[in-house]
Amino acid sequence: MIRPDVMPPPQTPVYWLLVLNNQLIDCASLDKGFAPPLIAVEELMDAEQRYTAQMGEYRGVPVFLMICDGTESLPSDWQWVALRQCLLRSDESLFTLAARACQITGFLRTHKYCGVCGNETSQDREELAVVCGHCGLQSYPRISPCIIVGIYRDDEILLARGVGHPEGMYSVLAGFVESGESFEQTLHREVMEEAGIEVEALEYIGSQPWPFPHSLMAGFIARYKAGTLRLEPTELVDGGWYKLDALPHTPPKGSIAARLISEVKRRAGL
Ligand SMILES: [Zn+2]
């Protein structure tokens, strides 16, 4: 459990995820891996006046979040980089911690006031939450569940390029869970809405938090059952059935989409 406002022990170098909105401080140049500062708390200005919390450990060293407000004076060779940059330049374990740090920062930034009475909130001392001192409403970080599904038919997989996705990048279908839906209901509804087909033999494969801004992807594979492919043009610009041994450009290793695609291939003996 993440406890708010915890400081590292004195004189001990730890990794610092310094976060300003959705950006983090990076000590490495952009052609190298993402490198958060590894320093003792005394080397950071005003650390005791800012929100800090331990996010976990990386290579056996504690990793702390400190929320910045842009007024900090930082060494000139440190730079702000977007969280998406960290995704491309860090291993999965470090990215997971950076993603968590950005989500907590986003939560605190967007929950300064109570959603019921509009009074200011304060941070709960015991858990990751904010509390309204006026009416007592407690609010927790928002997590938005999605389903993502690799649909196969014989030796083919359904891939499509979403509106706003990089040119030439094809992925499996995904969609947000709506209020009151199960994952299975979401999956059948999304696949029908986005592709006009029915699926069967749903299998859960795994999940992945996706911090843009606060999704949690539940990954499935499913078999085509019936219907004619008809891609929803407001969501998908291009796509179709692709032979598993001749796929277009697909999402990078480490993403849940890549895991689903490789699972479908593995079952087809590829
Ligand atoms: Zn309130």
Identify whether 138 is part of a domain. Answer: no
Specify the pLDDT at position 3. 72
Identify whether 129 is part of a domain. Answer: no
Which pLDDT band, with edges at 50, 70 and 90, does 155 fall under? very high
Domain boundaries, position 260: 144-267
What is the CA(104)–ligand 1 centre distance, in A? 21
* Distance between first and last Cα of the chain: 40
Which residues fall within 8 angstroms of residue 221, CB to CB, at 6 or more apart?
Answer: 149, 150, 151, 152, 202, 203, 205, 260, 263, 264, 267
What is the CA(61)–ligand 1 centre distance, in A? 39
Specify the pLDDT at position 87. 83
Burial 112-137 (b: 16+ CB within 10 A, else e): eebeeeeeebebeeeebbbbbeeeee
Identify whether 73 is part of a domain. Answer: yes
Give CA separation, 102 vs 22, 32, 67, 139, 199, in Å. Answer: 6, 21, 9, 17, 36
Which residues fall within 8 angstroms of residue 235, CB to CB, at 6 or more apart?
Answer: 162, 163, 194
Final residue before a domain boundary, out of 109, 130, 161: 109
* 98 and 207 co-located in one domain: no
* 47 and 148 co-located in one domain: no
> What pTM was estimated for this model as a whole?
0.85
In the numeric block, the tokens 């990954």 are attached to 219
What is the CA(132)–ligand 1 centre distance, in A? 5
Which among 26, 146, 147 is positioned nearest to 88, based on CA atoms? 26
What is the CA(102)–ligand 1 centre distance, in A? 25
What is the CA(122)–ligand 1 centre distance, in A? 11
Residue 225 has pLDDT above 80, yes or no: yes
Number of domain units in the chain: 2
* 138, two tokens: 């407690």
* 174 and 104 co-located in one domain: no
Q: In this structure, what CATH number is given to the domain that contains residue 77? A: 3.90.79.20
Identify whether 7 is part of a domain. Answer: no
What is the CA(110)–ligand 1 centre distance, in A? 15
Identify whether 79 is part of a domain. Answer: yes
Phi, psi of 18 (to 5 degrees): -90, 115
What is the CA(138)–ligand 1 centre distance, in A? 9
Give 74-117 pLDDT, tens digit per residue.
Answer: 888 899 999 988 888 888 899 999 999 999 999 999 999 999 99
Which residues fall within 8 angstroms of residue 253, CB to CB, at 6 or more apart?
Answer: none
Q: In this structure, what CATH number is given to the domain that contains residue 260? A: 3.90.79.10
Specify the pLDDT at position 254. 80
What is the CA(143)–ligand 1 centre distance, in A? 21
Identify whether 6 is part of a domain. Answer: no
* 227 and 174 co-located in one domain: yes
